[in-house]
Amino acid sequence: MKGNVEDLQAVWHYRPVDEAHTVVTLELYVEPKLVVPESVMVGQREWACGEAVVGIRDRAQELGRSVASKKP
């Protein structure tokens, strides 16, 4: 595999709050192939996790609307 990442691991956690809400968190581990200052990595990880969680939220809302529109 090509790229500048040696290792990447992601763990999603889902915690139901009630019938209509779930708290989603993402743990992300990235080991770059290059030497990168930790201050740069922190910002990049936070951005990537935020993008991933927002993407999951948007997809879940889209699916929820689709299911709701099919109910009699």
pTM: 0.63
What mean pLDDT is predicted for residues 18-27?
Answer: 88
Nearest by Cα to 5 from 34, 46, 27: 34
Q: How confident is the model at residue 1 (pLDDT cuts 50, 70, 90)?
A: low
- Contacts of residue 43, Cβ cutoff 8 Å, sequence gap at least 6: none
Tens of pLDDT, residues 37-66: 888 888 888 888 889 889 988 998 898 888
Q: Please tell me the predicted confidence (pLDDT) of residue 58.
A: 92
Beta strands in the chain (DSSP E): 5-18, 21-32
